[in-house]
Structure 1
Amino acid sequence: MKYTLLSIALLCATACLAQVSLEACQRQAQHNFPLIKRRALYAQSTALTIANLKKGWLPQVQATAQATMQNRVAELPSELNGMLTAMGRDLRGLAKEQYRVGVDVNQMLWDGGRIGAQRQVALLQQQANEAQTDVSLYQVRQRVNDLYFGILLIDERLQLNTDLQTLLLSNENKLAALQKQGVALQSDVDQLRAERLTAMQTTSELQHARQALCQMLALFCNVDRIDSIEKPTSTDNQETAEDVRPELKVIDLQLRLVASQQRALHSSLLPTLSIFGQAYYGYPGFDMFKDMNSRSPSFNAIAGVRLAWSIGNLYTHRNNMQRLKVSLAEIENARELFLFNNRLETIKQQAAIESKRQILNSDNEIVVLRQNVRRAAEAKLANGIIDTNSLLQEITRENNAKINRSTHEVEMLQGIYNLKYVKGEPTIPKQATP
């Protein structure tokens, strides 16, 4: 009850959270993605399989009924039959029409390890399926990253657009004052106003795009809304894909599964030991001399120990083992291919991050220079040296420089988190196996 209340409280707190981090979004998205329900289904299926395997140790009962017509039956030698006839005894021999209704009971004592091996195969199959689910859940992380950094980029654009409108309004007011003094034209004021209205339209477009991205991210996280997000920090990670990528866990479990299947194949070659009992009512019974003289059915029973060794599995054992060896080679090849592609992607992401980092160093200087040029243009316009078009060009260039800087910064952050995704940094806690 305590854990239920705690979960409800956390859910409500998350639903009303105004600002969220990237890691929190990744956790929420993984915990609420519909695919995670497969874990419980895999566990349920495995439990049923193991329960069925355990029933192999229960007594196996078989009811039988048969009726036969035989061309020959057991009978006494003619000399002995003649002697008995001379003594007044006439044995007719067994009837050719025979019938019985019975029950066979077999209790396994040792199965050569078959049930235990099959149980291990079922458990490893469940773990491999769950690990494959983890791979799909891990891919959700990249989708969340794309949405999150898309929102972050729009936030940067919105802030810059707000600054642009403020700057345009300031210059518009200055020109309006000059126009009243007769040193500026109304068309100059209108031109700045038109640019400001265009910037307002851009703000509206960005807000609608942001709203759509926030709704999609909220759907992933299973929350009512996401109002704002935190800007991630550019931290480096030293872990490698060989340690934490879920794809490699799948490969390891697949290798263990094939090894378990090999053990199951070996166990199928071993004999089985069991005790058995048979009972039937019919004709003839075990007392054949009595049944030669009488056609009456009787009750008969037998019990004992049986050692059975089937050689039928030997016919396909070698091919089955070769098939499993091929599977092992394919899985190892999949590991090599994954690591190769992962290293390529790591190099690509590292190069992209370094490129953005170097570009950012010059972006800051470009923005400062563009600001200086724009301020000089404002002074020139006030003194009548340049026209409004020249000022708007400098304002646009400064704004573009700021947009480039913010875009490069967000792209660098996204590249860092893409690299974390490639290398498999475990920002999301691992799920316990149900």
Structure 2
Amino acid sequence: MKKIVFILIVSISVSAFSQERFTLTDCYQLLETNYPLVKQHQLLENQHQKDAEIISNSKLPQFNIDAQATYQSDVIELPVAMSSIEPQNKDQYRATFSINQLIYNGGVTNANLKIKQGQLKTKQKQIDANIYQLKTQINQLYFSILLTQESLKLLEVKELQLQTKLKEVKSGIKYGSLLPAADSVLEAELLKIKQQFIEVESSKLSFIETLSSLVGKPFSSLTIFETPLIFTQLQNEINRPELELFRLKKEEVNNYKSLISKQNLPKVNGFATGGYGNPGLNMLDNSFQTFYTVGIKLHWNVFDWNTNKKQQKVVAINKDFIENETEIFKLNTRIALNKQQKEIEKITAFINSDLEIIALRKKVLKTLDSQLKNGVITSSIYTTEFTNLFEAENTLLKHKIQIELAKANYNTIKGE
């Protein structure tokens, strides 16, 4: 009883797994979710958060503690008329606690934060662009799997037809209308089909394993990959993630330009210092004293030998580089789209020819089928033409898969 239950559970599990279906869109989504590079999005977010905290800390008060002990070879000596004042000690001591508070720095801190935010967006979009480029590889693998699926179906049909024909030939041999060795050719062809089954199954398993590694999802040879209905609108506007990447790079350059323009603006800091030392602020009092100072400091670099302007020009050149890269990318993408369009047109012409060839070969095979039954031709001649028909049908199958692959690649290149 336990064995029966176990067999039932296994049967149900296999049946459920065999019904698992996936589409090309599913594979795209799995790639964007499971590919290892996706993890870098969160890593970049964490890194950006720490960088932003570090930059923002410049707005907080800065605390410093300093202490020193010195011995001087000489000290200030007062004239003889003032000799009643005790001279300073040559050994001196000082400990201070200071607070510095940024009041105004021309917006440099906010500009740096904006640069970091722009860098985060650029790096994340670069990741998206790198992952998107893998879609072409997904297309190749997915349609290779579809080709093996359809090839297996075609082999099954061919095998069934040959088995039927073999029964007819054996019957003809039995009743003396065909030569005794007439069935050997058909049996050899059936053995060849079994080899083809093994070859196609092996290729399918290899493609599935590679696809599984890319999308981070385990598949089985029993998984069904559905044939997509792909529509292409030729000469549409390009919508690739790389274009958004170029836009973010230009935005990043503008952020650098904004930072450079703020670097020479006045900077104002407030400060306070308290201490204990000998001597204190009163240099004439040769004893340990407490003291403090408070104030505001202004710093303004009024002349930098045109360094700022030169930096602005360097940034402008970088922006021109990005513009040039954008134009090159658009040009190469249009060339690739045109090439793919020509491929679609070529395969369409092939399919039309394939249909004509198959119609003619079916007509020939129908005639040979009648001649084989009547013993006019050998089974070898029939098998040769049968194989020719199978090859023609297989070529049509390949072309149908190829044209769908070409359409998928066209949409991928375009950015859909």
Provide TM-score, normalisation by structure 1: 0.86
Partners of 2:18 and 2:174 lie apart in 1 by: 51
The Cα shift of 1:72 comes to 6.4
Matches within 5 A, 1:16-55: 18-55=20-57
Partners of 1:93 and 1:16 lie apart in 2 by: 100
Give the secondary structure class of the aligned counterpart of 1:186.
coil
Map of 2:345 onto structure 1 = 354
Cα pair distance change 1:233/1:206, threshold 3 Å: same
Map of 2:93 onto structure 1 = 99
Q: Given residue 208 of structure 1, which amino acid in structure 2 is its aligned partner?
A: S
The Cα shift of 1:234 comes to 3.2
Map of 1:201 onto structure 2 = 195
Map of 2:246 onto structure 1 = 251
User: 2:370 is matched with which residue: 340, 356, 379?
Assistant: 379
Partners of 1:346 and 1:279 lie apart in 2 by: 72
Map of 2:224 onto structure 1 = 228
Q: Given residue 341 of structure 2, which amino acid in structure 1 is its aligned partner?
A: Q
Taking only aligned residues, the RMSD between alpha carbons, in angstroms, comes to 2.2
The Cα shift of 1:235 comes to 0.9
Q: Given residue 401 of structure 1, which amino acid in structure 2 is its aligned partner?
A: A
Q: Given residue 386 of structure 2, which amino acid in structure 1 is its aligned partner?
A: I
The Cα shift of 1:280 comes to 1.6
Whether 2:175 is the aligned partner of 1:184: answer no
Asked if the contact 1:16/1:225 (under 8 Å) is kept, the reply is no
Partners of 2:282 and 2:97 lie apart in 1 by: 19
The Cα shift of 1:16 comes to 8.1
User: 1:271 is matched with which residue: 266, 272, 275?
Assistant: 266
Cα pair distance change 1:313/1:192, threshold 3 Å: farther
Map of 2:283 onto structure 1 = 288
The Cα shift of 1:92 comes to 3.3
User: 1:335 is matched with which residue: 291, 315, 326?
Assistant: 326
Partners of 1:104 and 1:231 lie apart in 2 by: 73
Give the secondary structure class of the aligned counterpart of 2:68.
strand
Superposed CA deviations along residues 126-147 of structure 1, whole A, max 9, x for unmatched, are 1111001001111222222111
Asked if the contact 1:15/1:225 (under 8 Å) is kept, the reply is no
Give the secondary structure class of the aligned counterpart of 1:288.
coil
Partners of 1:40 and 1:15 lie apart in 2 by: 33
Map of 1:260 onto structure 2 = 255
The Cα shift of 1:110 comes to 1.1
User: 1:414 is matched with which residue: 405, 408, 413?
Assistant: 405
Gaps of 5+ in 1: 1-13, 426-434
Q: Given residue 212 of structure 2, which amino acid in structure 1 is its aligned partner?
A: A
Cα pair distance change 1:236/1:47, threshold 3 Å: same
Asked if the contact 2:18/2:224 (under 8 Å) is kept, the reply is no
The Cα shift of 1:333 comes to 1.5
Give the number of equivalent residue pairs.
399
Whether 2:162 is the aligned partner of 1:162: answer no
Cα pair distance change 1:198/1:143, threshold 3 Å: same
Whether 2:391 is the aligned partner of 1:403: answer no
Provide TM-score, normalisation by structure 2: 0.90
Partners of 1:137 and 1:313 lie apart in 2 by: 45
Q: Given residue 159 of structure 1, which amino acid in structure 2 is its aligned partner?
A: K
Superposed CA deviations along residues 265-323 of structure 1, whole A, max 9, x for unmatched, are 2222112112110112112222334x2xxx21111101111112246966743443333
Asked if the contact 2:177/2:374 (under 8 Å) is kept, the reply is no
Asked if the contact 2:232/2:410 (under 8 Å) is kept, the reply is no
Asked if the contact 1:241/1:342 (under 8 Å) is kept, the reply is no
Whether 2:415 is the aligned partner of 1:424: answer yes
The Cα shift of 1:241 comes to 5.5
Q: Among the aligned pairs, what percent are the same residue? A: 27
Map of 1:237 onto structure 2 = 233
Map of 1:3 onto structure 2 = none
Give the secondary structure class of the aligned counterpart of 2:170.
helix
Partners of 2:301 and 2:289 lie apart in 1 by: 34
Partners of 2:288 and 2:300 lie apart in 1 by: 34
